[in-house]
Amino acid sequence: MSAQLKITNLHKRFGGLVAVKDVSFNLHPGEVVGLLGPNGSGKTTVMNMISGALTCDAGRVNVNGVDLTRMKPHRVAKHGVARTFQLVRPLPTLSVAENVLLSLAFGRKRHWGREARDLVEEKLAFVGLAGRGDEQVGNLTYIDQKRMEMARALASEPSLLLLDEWLAGLNPSELRIGIDLVQHLQGQGMTVLLVEHIMEAVRALCSRCIVMSAGEVIAEGPSAEVLDQPVVIKAYLGDDHA
């Protein structure tokens, strides 16, 4: 099976600090993979280099056989990579529907007009915001803003979805809703790379995990095995717990 996302020897330095060091991994089509690691281990930096928010110093990013290394974010989006943000970033002067419409209008297929309006409603219904397109994003609850952001990401019709702590800050019942949504996407064959700290979500969603620490990949494999490895527990909790 050919890889959908192929990262080879990715390297990023901020001044004297090496944030990401020689990171390589693959994602296969339809996989939901967890990218884990303690704060500051370089997960978000990796995400940013895939989505084009940051350019890498060395290495390659390849999606669906296309080399996206050092490509600008808007072009990466057009090659089928969509993302959410660590802290939700709704566009406040736009309505809920317009937030989603933006990605439809500038995504892979550049939808507009009547057809785009129907698709907006479809995306909103998928995330559980049916009929709420005319609301102001400022009036949405936190979970609904997260839903809206998911709809906006899906509206560019990606083949690879990057979720950066998308489930963070949700209460237990909201978390259930969030996990169900990602599972629903998984059912549709979406490939997802998930940066996540909530182990419950990681165990429920990810068949495979990649663990980073201090900018390097320290473990990789099926979730159940990886999460119990001493080196992973040590990275998260310190020496005493290993």
Residues that bind another protein (CB under 8 A): 51-53, 72-74, 76-78, 82-83, 85, 89, 91-94, 98, 101-103, 105-108, 110, 112, 152, 156
Contact 112, 141 (CB under 8 A): no
Cβ proximity to another protein: between 47 and 211 the closer is: 47
132 and 151 Cβ atoms separated by less than 8 Å? no
| Rounded-to-integer distance, Cα 47 and Cα 34, Å | 12
Task: Name the nearest CA neighbour of 98 among 58, 148, 140, 139.
Answer: 148
Q: Which helix (H) or strand (E) holds 242?
A: none
- Smallest gap, in angstroms, from Cβ of residue 71 to another protein? 11
Nearer to another protein, 60 or 79 (CB): 79
d(CA 9, CA 225): 24
Helices (H), 37-141: 43-51, 73-78, 96-106, 114-127
User: Could you tell me the smallest distance in angstroms from the CB atom of residue 199 to another protein?
Assistant: 28
Q: How far is it, in rounded angstroms, from Cα 192 to Cα 206?
A: 9
- Min dist CB 37 to another protein, Å, is 23
Shortest spacing between CB 26 and another protein, in angstroms:
23
CB of 58 to another protein, least distance (A): 23
| Closer to another protein by Cβ: residue 137 or 190 | 137
Question: Minimal CA–CA distance to 24: which of 52, 60, 56?
Answer: 60
Nearer to another protein, 74 or 241 (CB): 74
Q: Where are the alpha helices (DSSP H) in 15-72?
A: 43-51
Give the residue with the Cβ less far from another protein, 190 or 211: 190
Beta strands in 28-175 (DSSP E): 32-36, 58-63, 66-67, 81-83, 160-164
Q: How far is the CB of 90 from another protein (least distance, A)?
A: 8
Q: How far apart are CA 214 and CA 216, in angstroms?
A: 6
Nearer to another protein, 111 or 132 (CB): 111
Closest separation in Å from C-beta 96 to another protein: 13
Which is nearer to another protein, 123 or 208 (by Cβ)? 123
